[in-house]
Amino acid sequence: MPDDAPPMAALIEGRLDRLDLTPEEASRAAGLAPDFLERLMAGRVPPPRGQRLVRLAEVLATSVSYLVGLDPDTPPPQEVLEEEQGTLGLLAGDEEALLRAYRRLEVPQKAAVVLVVRSMAGPEPAPDEVPAKRLARR
């Protein structure tokens, strides 16, 4: 397993071995893309959250808490049970892709990206200015 694989990947791999499941079988049973677990174990996608994580834990006959590295009897943190914004349709596809890439960056890289994007976007409007798009809706 690559060094950039999330800690959850090792726990999933152990459950797959114990249940004699392939990553593809478990992915499909959890309603995920067939190659999702392989990409997760390769460190190419972030760990699932919300209902995707709950379904994966059910398929692997374990708890969400175990998959996130906690004692199986401990309630999982609320943030892992919250749905990703993109899965709720709150982000456009390109916004979701940018957010996923941003989340993989280290803190200094994130700060640099924010500076670049802010400089490209130009000055922020004053709080009392109403954008033209809002005026058209009224």
- What's the confidence (pLDDT) of residue 123? 80
What does the alpha-carbon distance between residue 60 and residue 15 come to, in Å, rounded to a whole number?
6
Please give the class, per CATH, of domain 1-83. mainly alpha
Lookup: tokens for 50: 């919300």
The owner of tokens 């999933």 is 12
Residue 11 confidence class, pLDDT cut points 50, 70, 90: very high
User: Does residue 85 sit in helix, strand or coil?
Assistant: helix
User: Over 70: is that where the pLDDT of 92 sits?
Assistant: no
More confident residue, 2 or 102: 102
Answer yes or no: pTM beyond 0.75: no
Lookup: tokens for 49: 């959250």
- What's the confidence (pLDDT) of residue 62? 94
The answer to whether the beta carbons of residues 6 and 48 sit under 8 Å apart is no
Q: What is the mean pLDDT of the chain?
A: 82
Burial of residue 120 (CB within 10 Å: 0-12, 13-18, 19+) is: exposed
Lookup: tokens for 23: 């990553």
pLDDT tens digits for range 16-35? 999 999 999 999 999 999 99
Residue 107 confidence class, pLDDT cut points 50, 70, 90: confident
- What's the confidence (pLDDT) of residue 108? 85
- What's the confidence (pLDDT) of residue 138? 47
Length of the chain: 138
pLDDT tens digits for range 52-90? 999 999 999 999 999 988 888 888 878 778 776 555 556
- What's the confidence (pLDDT) of residue 57? 94
Domain ranges of the chain: 1-83, 87-123
What does the alpha-carbon distance between residue 55 and residue 33 come to, in Å, rounded to a whole number?
13
What does the alpha-carbon distance between residue 102 and residue 17 come to, in Å, rounded to a whole number?
32
- What's the confidence (pLDDT) of residue 59? 96
Residue 90, CA distances (Å) to 70, 86, 98 in order: 30, 6, 14
